[in-house]
Structure 1
Amino acid sequence: MLARTPSAILPTMRRVTASPRTSSVSHSARAARCTRRTFATHVEDNFRIPIIDFSKYRDAATAAQKEETAQEVVRGFTDVGFIYLSNHGIPEETVKHTFQKSAEFFSMPIEKKAELAWRDPRANRGFVQVGRERVTQSANADEIRQLREKAPDYKESMEIGRDWDKTYKNYWPREVDAPGFKRSMLNFFQTCHELHVLVMRSIALGLRLEETFFDSKIHEQYHNLRLLSYPPIKTQLLRGEGTARAGAHSDYGTLTLLFQDSVGGLEVQNPRTGQFQPATPIPGTIVVNAGDLLARWSNDVLRSTLHRVVAPPAKAISETEGVTPARQSIAFFCNPNQGAEISCLPTCVVPGGNPKYPPVTTEDYIVGRLKATYM
């Protein structure tokens, strides 16, 4: 789903540019500029994913400083749909440790990982082997099946949800097979949820809502922690039509917190030109993007932007063949509460205007997308 030209009752917003408060990674795109009453669009020469110093929100000395950073966050999601967060509050040691435990899990024998296989889109938990998933914007199960057979996603993943859920349980490896894995992932899950709450508060403030507006709508932690491993692969297998490490798609929920290694491969679509451009890994930052439900909530004021993962440059092993390096990433898919109704926010439609989307519950939307993606 590509975000459309937004209209909303929001404060005056200026374009995000490189400055001591907000630096940026250059790309090319359209930016939306907001007047006091409505957004007006104009074409910019550069497509930019802003780098936002989130400590200026977390540790704001004044209400004005907090609001300024909140507006920077909203501008990033309005203009591009993606931001980089620096000084986000998650220690680098915590991120490194989680990557280490993820790598240890994926190094387990395939037989042991297969015992933890993903089974149910309502649960969305467990191990997903290479080729099982085919992410795409299509919601047609037959079309996705054909895409999967023709050009599967060359990655494996481990899906982890809230561990106290009474209906759906996580699949954990035995402690002897992956020492400390369960404890590390549960701690990281909680850490990411706490950052999600803060970012959603900044979005609420930037949209002229009460700062805690979303708190009661996300407290159930109906999230998904996805560990991702992209094994080395011969370039010949990536030459097929439509083939990618992960196909072009938008995410389903409110936000995605993406932790990248140094290999890279994430590309974001310029909403104006349709071209995909790299979201280069920047040490110490988290890539954060808006998902479909946040776009629906905001009446497309905030963009749910298409993105994909492509193979990094390969190492030659013959005159005609190469091998790509392995890649790791960790995605925390933030969602509203399971039964939350997602309907147009009051500040995101002009007086007398109509919402673009009918109300939908979190579970209905996400389970519907997962069924089509995996089945």
Structure 2
Amino acid sequence: MTSSTNLPLIDMSGVREGDQASIRRAGDAIRQACSDIGFFYIINHGVSQAVIDRAMAAAKTFFAYPAETKRQVAVNKRHRGWHALGGALMYEATKPDLKEFFSIGLELPEDDPSVMAGEALRGPNQWPAFMPELETALAEYYAEIGKAGADLLVAVATGLGIESDFFSGKYDKPLQRTQMVYYPPHPPLAETDQFGVAPHTDYGCITLLYQDNSGGLQVRELSSNSWIDATPIPGSLVVNVGDLLAHWSNNRFRSTLHRVINKSGHERYSIATFYDPTYSAVVDPCDLGIGAASSLYPPVAAGDYILKRIDDSMAYRKKV
């Protein structure tokens, strides 16, 4: 059963300007949202609509190419490139997700120290020669959404009662991944265990999602144990807590199950950004004021945790 419930909506304009009262208000609202359901919307987030529109238009153009063309940039061991339909199987799901996506990360040359050291998921992106305008559109979006993520973490830190710049030191070389996602219309006779994205929690710290007006994103509400719709709001981003932030906060902030079922009758597009720390950043509840005896999670390097989750859910990882 599903219902349509408005998730909290938080204005980021004052946060972006560094206004302390606005940061405190946003932090309080984020604490409430993340202690309760782990999802909320943000507006006035700093990602211009023109940049969003160019990225969404590029997504539609890219996914319209035939599979044999997109295969020129098929996903590589760095988790960069095109992921074909059926390539993602969420944990405990019985069927692969009904989606395609194209993934990029922090653009690093082959001679970057992290790349030369063999740090997983690092390196240059795979940009399609058959569509050179994709790089311009998506790289522009990547930069602006990353700034929005950094601003958001200032308010997140305030909501957790820690120094507002705590996270900035953990993001000097972020493991940010941005994905354009395409969902075909949900088959009318599909079985109940077929999803665009099966129920799951995200792996990292925070996710910032731009979705078109198709609907289909649903969140598992903790208080009612029912699925609620994250109805698209023009100009907004949907934000949710990932498992690493839940661990870091010792479960004060909740990482919540969510899923996508595209019942719009037409194609659905979104752009998801997983705004995660530097690979080697240590995620330890004790750093957020939790005593060792009360800590629910052992320290872990952010990249190691994310890599394991990717290895567990992506079919291509079984082949590399």
- After TM superposition, is the score higher than 0.5? yes
Counterpart AA for 2:314: Y
Distance 1:89 1:259 in 2: 13
- TM-score, normalization by structure 1: 0.76
**CA shift at 1:346, angstroms?**
4.3
Pick aligned residue for 1:293 from 227, 233, 244: 244
**CA shift at 1:109, angstroms?**
2.0
1:58 maps to 16
1:231 maps to 184
> Greater CA radius of gyration, 1 or 2?
1
1:340 maps to 281
1:371 maps to 311
Counterpart AA for 1:180: E
2:31 maps to 74
Q: Does 1:244 align with 2:195?
A: yes
Counterpart AA for 2:157: A
1:124 maps to 79
Unaligned runs of 5+ in 1: 1-24, 28-47, 139-143, 314-323
Unaligned runs of 5+ in 2: 116-122, 316-320
After TM superposition, list the pairs within 5 Å mapping 1:93-112 onto structure 2. Answer: 93-112=50-69
Q: Does 1:258 align with 2:220?
A: no
Q: Does 1:153 align with 2:97?
A: yes
Deviations 1:337-357 (A, max 9, x none): 1111110044453x6741001
Distance 2:289 2:213 in 1: 37
**CA shift at 1:309, angstroms?**
0.0
SS at match of 2:54: helix
CA 1:26–1:264 in structure 2 vs 1: closer, same or farther (change >3 Å)? closer
Q: State whether residues 117 and 128 of structure 1, in contact with CA within 8 Å, keep that contact through their aligned partners in structure 2.
A: yes
Deviations 1:284-327 (A, max 9, x none): 110010101011110011111110001224xxxxxxxxxx3110
CA 1:191–1:52 in structure 2 vs 1: closer, same or farther (change >3 Å)? same
2:272 maps to 331
Deviations 1:8-57 (A, max 9, x none): xxxxxxxxxxxxxxxxx973xxxxxxxxxxxxxxxxxxxx5100111132
Distance 1:301 1:347 in 2: 11
Q: State whether residues 26 and 49 of structure 1, in contact with CA within 8 Å, keep that contact through their aligned partners in structure 2.
A: no
CA 1:107–1:26 in structure 2 vs 1: closer, same or farther (change >3 Å)? closer
Counterpart AA for 1:50: P
2:106 maps to 162
Q: Does 1:214 align with 2:164?
A: no
Q: State whether residues 216 and 229 of structure 2, in contact with CA within 8 Å, keep that contact through their aligned partners in structure 1.
A: yes
**CA shift at 1:68, angstroms?**
1.8
Pick aligned residue for 1:187 from 120, 137, 140: 140
**CA shift at 1:258, angstroms?**
0.3
2:220 maps to 269
1:279 maps to 230
Distance 1:163 1:183 in 2: 13
Counterpart AA for 1:183: T
Counterpart AA for 1:227: M
After TM superposition, list the pairs within 5 Å mapping 1:196-207 onto structure 2. Answer: 196-207=149-160
Counterpart AA for 2:252: V
Q: Identity rate of aligned residues, in percent?
A: 31
CA 1:352–1:128 in structure 2 vs 1: closer, same or farther (change >3 Å)? closer
Q: State whether residues 223 and 335 of structure 1, in contact with CA within 8 Å, keep that contact through their aligned partners in structure 2.
A: yes
Distance 1:165 1:229 in 2: 28
SS at match of 1:358: coil
SS at match of 1:338: coil
Distance 2:287 2:127 in 1: 42
SS at match of 1:209: coil
Distance 1:170 1:280 in 2: 32
- TM-score, normalization by structure 2: 0.89
Pick aligned residue for 2:89 from 134, 144, 147: 134
Q: Does 1:88 align with 2:45?
A: yes
Q: State whether residues 133 and 153 of structure 1, in contact with CA within 8 Å, keep that contact through their aligned partners in structure 2.
A: yes
Q: State whether residues 223 and 333 of structure 1, in contact with CA within 8 Å, keep that contact through their aligned partners in structure 2.
A: yes
Q: CA RMSD in A?
A: 1.9
CA 1:217–1:165 in structure 2 vs 1: closer, same or farther (change >3 Å)? farther
CA 1:165–1:242 in structure 2 vs 1: closer, same or farther (change >3 Å)? farther
Counterpart AA for 1:289: N
2:301 maps to 361
**CA shift at 1:371, angstroms?**
0.9
Q: Which moved more, 1:180-189 or 1:340-349?
A: 340-349
Structure ranking higher in helix proportion: 2
Q: State whether residues 257 and 331 of structure 1, in contact with CA within 8 Å, keep that contact through their aligned partners in structure 2.
A: yes
Deviations 1:98-120 (A, max 9, x none): 10011111112211111211132
Q: Which moved more, 1:180-189 or 1:251-260?
A: 180-189
